[in-house]
Amino acid sequence: MGLLSSLYTGSGYWNPLAWVLAMAVAAAVVYLIWRRGESSYKKGTMQTTPFISGNAEQGKGLDHIPASNLYWGYTEGIKGYYDRIVPLHTGITTDYLLWIFWVTGILLIVVMVI
């Protein structure tokens, strides 16, 4: 079997030369995108420090952003759902298993009927 021949796999054709060519084109595109990047970036300067809304960094481990701040927009967007679902979370494993069994049973009934 030669380098230019294709291998028929039963579900399509595979040509190693085509893959090498595709990888070379992809690498060239990645290189061109990389070359167009910002050239004024310098390690070890203020450019590498985290941006915390204009506030100075307190030090490693001293800055703490609670999850309630990070997910505020998400939880506010689904507040109606959260208000109904949070009381159902008791923290008891058997309650969660009961929910799994109920949902699985309902899904099975839906699948069997449809």
Q: What is the pLDDT of residue 8?
A: 66
User: What is the residue-averaged pLDDT of the chain?
Assistant: 84
Distance separating alpha carbons of residues 105 and 15, to the nearest angstrom: 48
Task: Kindly state the average pLDDT of the residues 40-64.
Answer: 78
The answer to whether the beta carbons of residues 7 and 1 sit under 8 Å apart is yes
pLDDT digits (tens, 9 = 90+) for 27-41: 999 999 999 988 888
pLDDT at 94: 93
Element (H, E) at 77: helix 72-77
Cα–Cα distance measured from residue 30 to residue 24, given in angstroms and rounded to the nearest whole number: 10
